[in-house]
Chains A and B, each alone.
Chain A
Amino acid sequence: MTEYVLRRIAGMVVVMFIVTSIVFVISHVIPGDPAAVMLGSDATAADIAALRARLGLDAPLPMQYLDFLRSVAVLRLGDSIFLGRSVTQALLERAPLTIQLTLMAAGLATLLGVPIGVLSAARRGTMADQVVTAFSMTAASLPSFWIGLTLIEYLAVRWHVLPVAGYGPPGAGLLERLRYLVLPAIAVGVPNSALIIRFTRTSMLDVLHEDYVRTARAKGLHPVTVIIKHAFRNARTQVLTVIGLTVAGLIGGAIVTETVFALPGVGNLVVSAVLRRDYPVIQGALLVISGVYVLINLGIDLLYAVLDPRVRY
């Protein structure tokens, strides 16, 4: 077990090293001078040279790469060009909102995806199953920003059920703030439930073909007991894997949806950084978000052993 954990952590370090290199390539190697882009078309050559020196862009590429790796290794992400603070500070200020939104959306996607997936596997081939398949395909085809706008139009503007946008007045309590996140969480959660539905259904169908399920049924156990206690218990690990895989989709959805609902989270930060070519912020966000994704999936792998005693490393 310890050996397995160490091996997985080593693998994670390798992936993060490659992630860092990809981020370096995106911001340094692709043609186009970040300094010139950042300063706009009416910058003088001297201004550009000064900024290049400040950002360390005048050093040879291999040196810049080593510097970059060194600062990422000690979690120093540099300073934002426009925000007047460090990238770490900017990310930390905005992280709570994005974490809340992602968690709410993940909860919704799971609460929607797992029961619906289990149900459609149990009722395979029936009308209900086909309705579920149609729902999951449609959900997967919905752009989160479009659902967001449509929800605003109906639930907020016309029927006043929930607030239109924003994150509540300053000093609002947590519950008040969470109310502002309900619509965004629906916009992010529903499209992401599709993958969970389909995977849950497939892994349940796999398990439902096993002999022990037939035995349980033959013993005359209640069908619901068979589904939940016998079948689902064994489909859990696969379901957990797919929930881990949707994390990327959830964070991606949050990035787009924060813009729709004017939520001051990490997504909004990234989008404005991209539009203003604030490279240090883009780099920092790429590193932190991919790091979180890799960590979550490592955690899920390690959880397998807890959930499924048959898993031995």
Chain B
Amino acid sequence: MGDTVAGVLRSQRSISPARALLGRMVRRRLVVLSLMVLGVVVFCAIAGPWIAPYAPQRMDIAHRLAPPSARHWFGSDDFGRDVLTRCIYGARLSLTVGLFVVLLSLVCGTILGVVAGYIRRLDGLLMRVTDALMAFPDILLAIALMSALGASAYDVVIALATVYTPRVARVARGGTLVLRELQYIEAAEALGATDRRVMLVHLLPNLVSPLLVQGTFIFASAILTEAALSFLGAGVPPTTPTWGNMIASAQQYMQGASWLILAPGLCIVLTVLSLQMVGDGLRDALDPRLRRLT
């Protein structure tokens, strides 16, 4: 604790304390704001069917391509479907896909990374595999996997988890390489702990904060890549409303109906931005040493 306080004090030396405090407060306030935005998005995703003003496929041909109004807050699309409703249902899909991608890639990536970092014989091979996976642009690997897998939300999760697992593995390996040199690990080994025990009991708990931060950033990337997949027509079938496929089908009506791309686009940007802010805030809060750099 003493170290931390001293570190913070030292790092703040070059700018006035009031200003640093102000800066941190603005940051915190943004984090709070971001959490509120995410709260709204999560609420929409969970309560979608109860709070959406219409059914997602309900067509109101008399009011097709209607601009935002009291009847359709975000306007209506070329079939007269309510854009707000479809955005709410899009949140359901984006968040569910994002959440499962994060969970799956955290589990796989952590196992790979800790094993690679701790059991040195496997390090070379495992890291070359992550290098190879990271040599593909996210979206390219994702669409190639989708071409082989299928087109359900389940397939999107598998494809994106494959894309993001190496990033988790990198973080977990890096952390493990640092931790394994520490004395408490040496002590555990001297006491005869098995590799499995060292990894699960001694390494894993100390990797939680960097992995949590990385998980938040992957959540943001997964939502962006899912949107791009849907936009390209390589994601879930167009019958399910997603933010990406709403923008894709709005392309031809853009002129004169700009709300069609504005609403789902803002949903993507606000959600992703909030996740990044929260990830940033988490990193600052969990690792005060990094504050010097941010």
A residues engaging B (CB < 8 A)? Answer: 11, 14-16, 18-19, 22-23, 26-27, 30, 32, 124-126, 130, 137-138, 140-146, 149-150, 152-153, 157, 202, 205-206, 209, 248-249, 251-252, 255-256, 259-260, 270-271, 273-275, 277, 279, 282, 285-286, 289-290, 293-294
List 29 A–B pairs whose Cβ atoms lie within 8 Å, in order of A's numbering. Answer: A19-B136, A22-B133, A26-B145, A32-B149, A124-B15, A125-B20, A130-B23, A130-B26, A137-B277, A137-B280, A138-B273, A141-B268, A143-B228, A143-B268, A145-B231, A146-B247, A146-B269, A149-B247, A153-B255, A209-B292, A248-B135, A248-B136, A248-B138, A251-B140, A260-B251, A270-B140, A271-B234, A279-B147, A282-B144
Q: Please give me the 9 A-B residue pairs with the lowest Cβ-Cβ distance, nearest first.
A: A252-B137, A18-B132, A141-B272, A290-B135, A141-B273, A125-B15, A30-B148, A146-B265, A252-B139
**B residues whose Cβ falls under 8 Å from a Cβ of A:** 14-15, 19-20, 23, 26, 128-129, 131-141, 143-150, 220, 224, 227-228, 231-234, 244, 247, 251, 254-255, 258, 261, 265, 268-269, 272-273, 276-277, 280, 292-293
In the bound complex, do residue A286 and residue B140 qualify as a contact, i.e. CB atoms below 8 Å apart? yes
Q: Is the CB of A252 within 8 A of B273?
A: no
Contact partner, B276, options A32, A137, A273, A286, Cβ 8 Å: A137
> A237 → chain B, closest Cβ, in Å?
17
> Which one of B19, B137, B220, B273 contacts A255 once the chains associate, using CB atoms below 8 Å?
B137
On whether A294 and B135 interact (CB within 8 A), knowing A137-B280, A251-B140, A282-B147, the answer reads yes
- Identify the interface centre among A14, A145, A285, A290: most chain B CB within 10 Å of its CB: A145
Contacts of B140 in A (CB 8 A): 251-252, 255, 270, 285-286, 289
In the complex, chain A residues whose CB is within 8 Å of the CB of B261? 146, 149-150, 153
A260 to B250, CA, bound (A): 12
Known pairs A125-B20, A140-B272; list 11 more (Cβ under 8 Å): A19-B136, A26-B148, A137-B280, A141-B273, A146-B265, A251-B137, A256-B231, A270-B143, A271-B232, A285-B140, A293-B137
**Which of chain B's residues has its CB closest to A291's CB?**
B135
- Are A27 and B228 interface neighbours, CB within 8 A? no
CA distance A271 to B139 in the complex (A): 10
Q: Of A19, A27, A143, A152, which contacts B227 at CB under 8 A?
A: A143
Q: Which residue of B lies closest to A29 (CB)?
A: B148
Q: Which residue of B lies closest to A157 (CB)?
A: B255
Interface of B is mostly: helix
Asked if A286 and B136 make an inter-chain contact with CB atoms under 8 angstroms apart, the answer reads yes
Q: A143-B224, A277-B147 are in contact. Are A206 and B137 (CB under 8 A)?
A: no
Q: Residue of A at shortest CB range from B275?
A: A141
Contact partners of A248 in chain B: CB under 8 A? 134-138
Contact A150 B265, beta carbon cutoff 8 Å: yes
* Most-contacted residue by chain A among B133, B232, B251 (CB, 10 A): B232
Distance between A202 CB and nearest chain B CB, rounded to angstroms: 5
B211 nearest CB across to chain A (Å) = 20
Task: Check A256/B135 contact, CB under 8 A, given A137-B277, A140-B276.
Answer: no
CB <8 Å contact, A137 and B273: yes
Chain B residue with minimal CB distance to A16? Answer: B132
CB < 8 Å neighbour of A293 from B14, B15, B135, B273: B135
Residues of chain A within 8 A of B132, CB atoms compared:
15-16, 18-19, 22, 290
* Contacts A26-B148, A205-B293 given; does A255 touch B139 at CB 8 Å: yes
In the assembly, what is the distance between CA of A101 and CA of B140, in Å?
17
Residues of the A chain whose Cβ atoms lie less than 8 Å from the Cβ of B150: 32
Q: Which residue of B lies closest to A278 (CB)?
A: B147
